[in-house]
Structure 1
Amino acid sequence: MTARAVVTPAEVDFSEPAAPASPAFGDVYHSRAGAQAQSRHVFVAGNGLPGRWQGRERFVVLETGFGLGNNFLATWDAWRQDPARCERLVFVSVEKHPLRRDDLTRAHAASELPELAAQLIERWPPLTAGLHTLSFEGGRVELLLGLGDARELLRELVLEADAICLDGFAPKLNPELWDDWLLKSLSRHARPGTTLATWSIHRPMRRTLTALGFGVALAQGFANKPEMTVARFAPRHLLQRPAGREALAPGAKRAVILGAGLAGAACAWALSRQGVACTVVDALPGPAHASSGNPAGLFHGTVNPDDGPHARFNRAASLATQSLLAELGLPHQRGLLRLETRLALAQMLEAPGYVQPLSADEASARAGTALGHPAWFYPGGGAVDPAAYVRAMLAASAAKLMLNTPVAALRECPGCWQLLAADGHLIDEVTLVVLAGGHGQLSLLSDLGPLADDLVVQRGQLTHLADAPWQPGVPVAGDGYAIADGRGGAWCGATAQDGDLDPDLREADQADNLARYARLAGLAEAPQAPLAGRVAWRLVAPDRMPLIGGLAAPGPLAAQLRLQPRRPGLVVCTGFASRGIGWAALAGRLVAALALGAPRPLEAELLDAIDPQRFALRRQRRSGS
């Protein structure tokens, strides 16, 4: 992995328990007078909380310097204690050098908020670069934790903050967290009325904040500091927000989701967490009857040398899946090996908790057979029954199901969308529609623009071995995959044929799957087995990334995705290819955030990489129009 993917953990000096310190920066993490007392005085009260969030649907706090997490814990505790609190609290924080889990545990050994600290430690993510969503209080409190350089992450965040906590080590010791460039980046996430608080009274900082449109004042400081800085954003001129980043259905209280598979169920789960009542509509007689009906499937991240968009998106998605499966309490096979023949694993860096390189012997020991290659081991990856996953998400969402209900057309009306049957009958009318039905919705997509032209329907056949000569100790992927079925057999596959609509099991495809199985297992020849398995179809984009976002409003396309106005009340969530299990959890969160305007759980560059309009924009650029 590149330096971009690697996060360097903090080294913490605990020799003085009352004031843990950073040897690298030569400063303490919090005042010796008390971590929680400082957080409550400077950052909670300094931002006018809890009063400012009362009566609000959502309140967003943006912090520079997560450190030990005391500001988050203090804010969460204040939210808990306030009977008039906002419905949802989103705390967004960036940290270049996060603590290892063991150090975080040590830092909070004598916490004033032991219950909250324990939950934070339990959900502490692997220290990989990018945004991590940690959910608490049934999703009503979220910590969006960005690991990496603040100067890069602030540029990539998509959010509007209601309050800002400026909390790095002292400006003389850590100037990058206080300079003009960073403060300007922060101001781009502010809106009129956004407050800011910090323990520092650094004069250059105050001058810059004033120049950026903040009204700056000094307030009573904490403990031995006589003063601190507070500010409120009141710019003379408002910056125009990118049209492509506006909420698609702000304030929506009900949504109709077309598709009762992995994508649709995940969208229902995520939207319900944001207080949206969901109806899931499907033409088939039950959930997970199409592509999501396979009996087993894999989920895992990916690694590549440049840590490009595919690797970063799949890493975020895999970690989101791991978190959701744990929250749902859904049984599944944990751990996954992916054989690697192209990269010299010994020269690659591992990311503890996410991926580790194993030699061929180490991988063989985990797989229970002699593997011919080294492998990446994903401890948080694995395999799960997709249909069980769909049912669990739908149950958690309390969504209403409308099955055996084909939708023939969508009609846009002022402020709503109408769902029409083939005979023109009105099925429903709603302010927010999510298209999450995979290849079965190509005709609907075609009616809404040229998006369907960029997608391919791909047939896949997987094979079941009832009596398998090798049942891997953990799921194994590489040239194909193998998953033990827990009953002495194994699932293996899968084929991929573009544009092939044949629904019947084929001997030739089974032979191909069994040959892959034999190569993975190190068998001299492929086993023989009666024809058994399943055929399903995937919807695949040319770049093998999903399509999640809004569709272009009528009219000429803008020159940039972020400037493109979108059709209100409509979100697309499709093109999951063979990664439906691994992408669903993150996709659902993205749909909810895009629809309602919540902080996006993914960086702006990756939002562009999965934007449904990306292919149309590329064609426009190639044509020079």
Structure 2
Amino acid sequence: MTRAPLEPARVVFDPAGPPRSAEFGDVYHARAGALEQARHVFLGGNGLPRRWQGRERFVVLETGFGLGNNFLATWEAWRQDTDRCARLIFVSVEKHPLRRDDLARAHEGSPLPALAAQLVERWPPLSPGLHTLGFEGGRVELLLGLGDARGLLRELVLQADAFFLDGFAPACNPELWDAYLLKGLARLAAPGATAATWSVARPVRDGLSAAGFEVERVPGFASKGQMSVARFAPRHLPQRPAGREPLAPGARSAVILGAGLAGAACALALSRAGLACTVIDALDAPGRASSGNPAGLFHGTVNPDDGPHARFNRAAALATQAQLAELGLPHQQGLLRLETRLPLERMQDAPSYVEALSREAASARAGTALGHPAWFYPGGGAVDPAAYARALLAASGAELRLQTTVAALHEQPGGWALLDAAGGLLAQAPLVVLAGGHGQLPLLGPAADGLTVQRGQITRLPQAPWCPALPIAGEGYAIADGHGGLWCGATAQDGDADPALRAADQADNLARYARMAGLAEIPQAPLAGRVGWRLIAPDRLPLIGGLAAPGPLADQLKLQPRRPGLVLCTALASRGITWAALAGRLAAALALGSPNPLEADLVEAVDPLRFALRRARRGKPAV
């Protein structure tokens, strides 16, 4: 689903009253107080904090984020509750999000200054789609959907325990309250879900009733005499599609195969969901295979139609930016990607998380002359991937078992057994995640069809005649090592198993480097670098999700039953650094049934069964 560009909110700050929306001509909250209103209407109206007590996970879905006061009030109530749920996930959509400066101004003098400051600090670039903001070491999560609510709600994959129905008044913003939108809440409601809103408008109450809610009026907040509360009690519970069922509901432990970036990210996401994780790898240290290069890039991509690749890469790059900041991992921040096809005037409609720079401006950023304009990714950069994997593993607290090769998986009641080459039992768990890249092809079964193992060689240039201050990407890439040299590359040869450094490949890397640098001559250097292998899917997107259960393949991915307790998170190609954080979160969400951090169409874009479904459709006779 291609997203339209966002229009940031135009906030009118009134010293005599609450902030007002210029678009809708309405105030953001009651004059009697935003937090007081949130506590009475939304927390009280949904029976919180009582209803989340003792729960492993509680999910709130809000229909209008606004200034974020309902989230802050809910977060503060969670912090104050000694019997709180283990994880609070607050999902909210907003068509006109505030710019960071306006958000900071809106919370000047906030009664919750520490929480408001964290929200402002983590506020994402205003780009369409879902953004995950983590707080309290991942125990509180804000899944913020930026864009039109009608489109975003259709794309959410979750079950909400409580609905905060907020937004500007129905007379000002009717689309947020109409029967179509309210009916869509039924698909997202967990059994026994509740809803609350300050509105008692008849169309709102009727829309909730038609969606399967039992609605009543109760005393309202401040000057509003009444408000509406509701409980989801439909005559017939909507059936959840088989492909959307959690793969390992209730699992308390997991075994992850692979101690590279994918496996480490899965370990962190699952451990934060409360699982005891064990990470198994055949090599003698984390990040030694595909994640073993000394440095690598991370950044999004710009696509004129903002298609699935651009949207996935943007979401993943922003997730990586946030993850590195949270870990405090040293890395090179900021990246320039040379644009050799488009003139500068056609680069101006860039999404908010990337800047279009002229050749002169890009050269100033790089600290050296460039021959082309460039896209500047402030949140992109370069990092040591093995160090990143180690940091993820350390943060996860997972048990690490190295120099252990898993030769086979055996399904058994309640989970899986992992066997060595002699058939001996290595481990067993209710949830197994295959995150080991090309080394695990024999374990993937039919999901391995069409995957390519690609050899890549990078080059070490000890003294670089052209050494930019920022990582540069283009025809190739260049990453300074901080000592006057750099790494450049990389080659790509499918099905090539040669582990030796090759002079011809080094010559290719240096030739690309010379063209990027605009050098008259190709530099010469002793043969030095590294060879590694990437696992690549035909459409250059990863494989994240479950495998098909025995039986005929369904004609839609969301309807396809999956093998319980088994999740793939693999084929991260040459974008492991960029994709790992988001891939790990998605794998954990699919396993446990928590809200997906991606829209449904992007979840299907990385589903491991997408190629099998396409083959099956091509094989069907025309009707």
TM-score tier by shorter-chain length is over 0.9
Alignment partner, residue 436 of structure 2: 437
Q: CA offset at residue 350 of structure 1?
A: 5.1
Aligned to 1:546: 542
Pairs within 5 Å for 1:173-322? 173-322=172-321
- The answer to which of 158-167 and 182-191 deviates more is 182-191
SS at match of 2:594: coil
Separation in 1, partners of 2:141, 2:188: 18
Q: Which runs of 5+ in 2 are unaligned?
A: none
SS in 2 for 1:491: strand
Following superposition, the deviation at residue 95 of structure 1 comes to 0.0
* Percent pairwise identity: 75
Cα deviation digits, residues 414-439 of structure 1 (max 9, x gap) = 11100000001000111000000000
In the alignment, is residue 372 of structure 1 matched against residue 371 of structure 2? yes
User: How far did 1:4 drift?
Assistant: 2.3
Please identify, of 490-499 and 347-356, the stretch whose mean Cα deviation from structure 2 is larger: 347-356
CA distance in 1, matches of 2:306, 2:58: 33
Q: Secondary structure at the match of 1:524?
A: coil
Per-residue deviation, residues 543-593 of structure 1 (Å, max 9, x unmatched)? 000000000101100000000000000000000110000000001111111
Instruction: Map residues 463-502 of structure 1 onto 2, 5 A cutoff.
Output: 463-502=459-498
Choose the corresponding residue for 2:499, options 503, 522, 530.
503
Q: Is residue 451 of structure 2 the alignment partner of residue 455 of structure 1?
A: yes
Question: In 2, Cα distance between the equivalents of 1:54 and 1:480?
Answer: 53
- What is the rounded CA distance, in whole Å, between the counterparts of 1:79 and 1:479 in structure 2? 50
Query: In structure 2, what is the Cα distance between the partners aligned to 1:333 and 1:229?
Result: 51
Corresponding residue for residue 526 of structure 1: 522
What amino acid does structure 2 have at the position aligned with 1:338? R
Q: Give the secondary structure class of the aligned counterpart of 1:112.
A: coil
Cα distance in 2 for partners of 1:200, 1:88 equals: 29
Give the drift of 1:349: 4.4
Question: Given the alignment of the two structures, is residue 403 of structure 1 paired with residue 402 of structure 2, yes or no?
Answer: yes
Match of 2:508 in 1: 512
- Structure-2 change in CA distance of 1:245 and 1:226 (3 Å): same
* One-letter amino acid matched to 2:214: G
Tell me the residue number matched to 2:28.
29
Determine if contact 2:185/2:211 at 8 Å carries over to the other structure: no
Distance 2:564 2:342 in 1: 45
Aligned AA (1:533): G
Q: Runs of 5+ in structure 1 lacking a partner? A: none
Q: Which amino acid aligns with 1:72?
A: F
SS in 2 for 1:291: coil
Is residue 350–residue 356 contact of structure 1 (8 Å, CA) maintained in 2? no
* SS of equivalent to 1:295: coil
The 1-side partners of 2:270 and 2:249 are apart by 12
Greater shift in the superposed pair: 182-191 or 602-611: 182-191
Question: Among residues 574, 577, 597, which one is paired with 2:573 in the alignment?
Answer: 577
CA contact (8 A) 2:436 2:570 kept: yes
- Deviation, 1:445, is 1.1
SS at match of 1:427: strand
In 2: Cα distance, 1:314 partner to 1:346 partner = 24
1:567 aligns with 2:563: yes
CA distance in 2, matches of 1:348, 1:360: 12
> 2:553 pairs with 554, 557, 568, which one?
557
Deviation digits for residues 289-310 of structure 1, max 9, x if unmatched? 1110100000000001000000
Measured after TM superposition, the shift of residue 5 of structure 1 is 4.8
Rounded Cα–Cα distance in structure 2 between residues aligned with 1:278 and 1:192: 29
Q: Residue 80 of structure 1 corresponds to which residue in structure 2? A: 79
Give deviations 1:141-190, integer Å, cap 9, x for gaps: 00000000001100000000000011010101100100111111122101
Q: How has the CA–CA distance of structure 1 residues 152 and 555 changed in structure 2, closer, same or farther, with 3 Å as cutoff?
A: same
Residues 256 and 281 in structure 1, CA contact (< 8 A), matched pair in contact too: yes
Q: Give the conservation status (yes or no) of the 8 Å contact 1:353–1:379.
A: no
Q: Does 1:599 align with 2:598?
A: no
Deviates most, 350-359 or 94-103: 350-359
Secondary structure of the corresponding residue to residue 473 of structure 1:
coil
Aligned residues: 621
Q: Please give the alpha-carbon distance, in whole angstroms, between the structure 2 residues aligned to 1:158 and 1:55.
A: 24
Q: Which residue number corresponds to residue 70 of structure 2? A: 71
1:20-50 deviations in whole A, cap 9, x for unaligned? 1011111000001111111100001011101
Where does structure 1 differ by over 4 angstroms across 4 or more consecutive aligned residues? 349-353
C-alpha displacement of 1:220: 0.3
Q: Which residue of 2 aligns with 1:358?
A: 357
SS, match of residue 188 in structure 1 = helix
- The alpha carbon displacement at 1:351 in A equals 5.5
After TM superposition, the structure 1 stretch with the greater mean CA deviation from structure 2, 291-300 or 335-344, is 335-344
Q: TM-score, normalised by structure 2?
A: 0.98
Q: Distance in 1 between matches of 2:271 and 2:422?
A: 31
Q: Equivalent residue for 1:143?
A: 142
CA deviations over 1:346-403 (Å, ceiling 9, x no partner): 2344567610101111111212332221111000000000111011011111111111
1:242-276 residue CA offsets vs partner (Å, 9 max, x unmatched): 11111111111111000010101111111111111
Provide the rounded CA distance (Å) in 1 between the counterparts of 2:223 and 2:151.
Answer: 34
Q: 1:344 to 1:153 in 2, by over 3 A?
A: farther
Q: CA RMSD in A?
A: 1.2
Q: Secondary structure of 1:127's partner?
A: coil
2:613 to 617, 620, 624: 617
Q: CA deviation at 1:476?
A: 0.4
SS at match of 2:449: helix
Cα deviation for residue 18 of structure 1 reads 3.2
Secondary structure at the aligned position of 1:606 is classed as: helix
Whole-Å separation in 2 of the counterparts to 1:488 and 1:16: 55
SS in 1 for 2:539: coil
Shift of 1:612: 0.2
The residue matched to 1:32 in structure 2 has which SS? Answer: coil
Q: 1:3 to 1:542 in 2, by over 3 A?
A: closer
Are the counterparts in 1 of residues 471 and 479 from structure 2 also a CA contact under 8 Å?
yes
Counterpart code for 2:89: V
1:3, CA displacement in angstroms?
Answer: 8.2
Letter of the 1:297 partner, please give it.
G
Whether contact under 8 Å (1:126, 1:352) holds in the other structure is no
